[in-house]
């Protein structure tokens, strides 16, 4: 009787660990749903928007200029931040404020990326903490998930590419 | 006949994916065997030594000053480096060379660590590329496995003078 219960408990734990590992690897290597908070990526991503992030690009080193990425914060390893890649390693980026009289530029060092939020007036990004190592990138946001209420009786989830229609400011080297 | 083979193939693939995921999570969260190469951690870790690294400390934010850690290289995301933690966030570290007349110090910024190799003369570390974000730490080396005459826990830093007390 006791052996039966013990056996069932172990089997249950075994399945939990098994499917927990598979789910973890799915999030780690394929992608997952992310809820964004904060104003630094407006108007592209608003506060409390739900987006889908894919994690394959960073493993294959396919992150491109203009991608919106989720990055482990360089100042706080427990939190993630969401910014746009403005420059890759070797690119020339503008490090001065628009209000400065003299423009200053620098080159993104090897193995790093330069991140900026779309809402330049309300974003702490590489202009504050400098270039961010590529190894901190967790994933690339590719989809915004819209929830549409139809007839108040059911909720339809619509997947729409929400990021490609925007014009990007890019620097020519 | 064909259905049988197809069924067996899918079941085989299913088991491969399943155990691959479990193995990956074991390496990611528990630890694994690592082969070290390079002279920057001599005499503590020699070239081609085999060590065991555990990955729990970094998830629970228990990395301490003096730990030897494996870190994703800030200059090359495809490779890992192995250094000792000399300073945690807020600590004072010496950024000048021993040969300099004037010593210069700085404080490790929030969310970063200061890494140095034990072989100070032959090590590119935070003295070259600056403090490293904590998020790049992969694991903590706790045990040397090979060579057998050096089996056991790793020694303390031979450069105790690099650890500055506030």
Which residues of chain B neighbour A73 with C-beta distances below 8 Å?
111, 135
Domain over B32-165 is classified CATH 2.10.109.10: yes
Q: Are A144 and A49 in contact (CB under 8 A)?
A: yes
Q: What is the pLDDT of residues A41-85, one digit of tens each?
A: 888 888 888 889 999 888 889 999 999 999 999 999 999 999 999
A133/B72 CB distance under 8 A: yes
For chain A, which residues make up each domain, given as ranges?
33-169
Query: Rounded to an integer, what distance in angstroms lies between the CA atom of residue A14 and that of residue A86?
Result: 45
Q: Residues of A at the B interface (Cβ-Cβ below 8 Å)?
A: 17-18, 20-22, 24-25, 61, 72-78, 109-112, 132-136
Reference B41, options B115, B114, B93; nearest CA is B115
Hey, how many other C-beta atoms are within 10 angstroms of the C-beta on B2?
A: 6
CA–CA min distance B111, chain A (Å)? 4
- Mean local confidence (pLDDT), A160-168: 36
More confidently predicted of B162 and A15 = A15
The whole-angstrom distance between B137's CA and the closest CA on chain A is 10
Distance CA(B9)–CA(B6), nearest Å, equals 5
What is the residue-level pLDDT of chain B in tens, covering all 166 positions? 788 899 999 999 988 988 888 888 888 888 888 888 889 988 888 888 999 999 988 889 999 999 999 999 999 999 999 999 999 999 999 887 767 788 888 999 999 999 999 998 889 999 999 999 999 999 999 889 888 888 888 888 888 878 876 5
Q: How many CB atoms lie within 10 A of CB A54?
A: 15
Among A104-108, A157-161, A166-170, B110-114, whose mean pLDDT is lowest? A166-170
Q: What is the ipTM of this complex?
A: 0.84
Q: Average of pLDDT values for A19-47?
A: 87
Between CA A140 and CA B60 the distance in angstroms is 26
The C-alpha of B102 sits at a distance from chain A's nearest C-alpha, in angstroms, of 27
Determine the pLDDT at residue B165. Answer: 67
- Cis, peptide link before residue B45, omega less than 30° from 0: no
Of A17, A61, A75, the CB nearest to B111: A75
Are A74 and B22 a contacting pair at CB < 8 A? no
Quick one: pLDDT at residue B59? 87
Task: Give me Rg for the CA atoms of chain A.
Answer: 21
Q: Please, which residues bridge with residue B52 across strands?
A: B33, B143
3-class DSSP assignment, residue A164: coil
Residues of A with catalytic annotation?
40, 83
Pairing between β-strand A31-35 and β-strand A50-54 as defined by DSSP bridges: antiparallel
Closest CA to B118 of B89, B148, B91, B141: B141
Taking CB atoms and an 8 Å cutoff, what residues of chain A touch B77? 61, 111, 133-135
Q: Tell me the pTM.
A: 0.81
Mean pLDDT to the nearest integer, A152-170 = 36
Report how far residue B163's alpha carbon sits from residue B108's, in angstroms, rounded to the nearest whole number: 13
Q: Do B136 and A135 touch (CB under 8 A)?
A: yes
- Biggest CA pair distance of chain A: 82
Output the six-digit token pair for A48.
Answer: 């409390």
pLDDT tens figures, A100-154: 788 888 999 999 999 999 998 889 999 999 999 999 999 999 888 876 543 333 3
pLDDT score for A160: 37
Pick from B137, B129, B28, B116: which is nearest to B72 by CA? B137
How far is residue B17's CA from residue A21's CA, in Å, rounded to a whole number?
10
Query: Residue B25: its chain A contacts at CB < 8 A?
Result: 20-21, 24-25
Is residue A31's pLDDT more than 60? Answer: yes
DSSP secondary-structure letter at B154? P
Sign for the pseudo-dihedral over CA of B132, B134, B136, B139 = positive
Query: Which one is catalytic: B53, B57, B83, B123?
Result: B83
Nearest CB to A133: which of B20, B74, B111? B74
Which residues of chain A neighbour B135 with C-beta distances below 8 Å? 72-74, 77, 135-136
- Which residues face A105 on adjacent strands? A94
Q: Which residue of A has its CA nearest to B138?
A: A135
Q: Which fold has domain A33-169?
A: Umud Fragment, subunit A (2.10.109)
Provide DSSP, B46-102: -TT-EEEEE-HHHHTT---TT-EEEEE-SS-TTSEEEEEEEE-TT-EEE-S-TT-SS
């Amino acid at each position: 009787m006791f052996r039966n219960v013990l056996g069932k408990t172990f089997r249950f734990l075994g399945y939990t660990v098994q499917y927990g590992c598979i789910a973890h690897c799915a999030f780690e290597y394929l992608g997952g749903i992310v809820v964004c908070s904060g104003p630094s990526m407006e108007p592209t991503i608003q506060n409390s928007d739900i987006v889908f992030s894919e994690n394959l690009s960073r493993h294959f080193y396919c992150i491109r200029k203009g991608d919106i990425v989720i990055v482990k914060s360089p100042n706080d390893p427990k939190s993630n931040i969401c910014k746009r890649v403005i420059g890759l390693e070797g690119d020339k980026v503008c490090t001065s404020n628009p209000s400065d009289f003299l423009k200053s530029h620098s080159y993104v060092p090897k193995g790093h990326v330069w991140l900026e939020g779309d809402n330049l007036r309300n974003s702490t990004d590489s202009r504050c903490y400098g270039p961010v190592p590529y190894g901190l990138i967790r994933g690339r946001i590719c989809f915004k998930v819209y929830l549409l209420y139809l007839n108040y009786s059911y909720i339809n989830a619509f997947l729409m590419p929400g990021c490609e229609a925007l014009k990007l400011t890019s620097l020519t080297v």
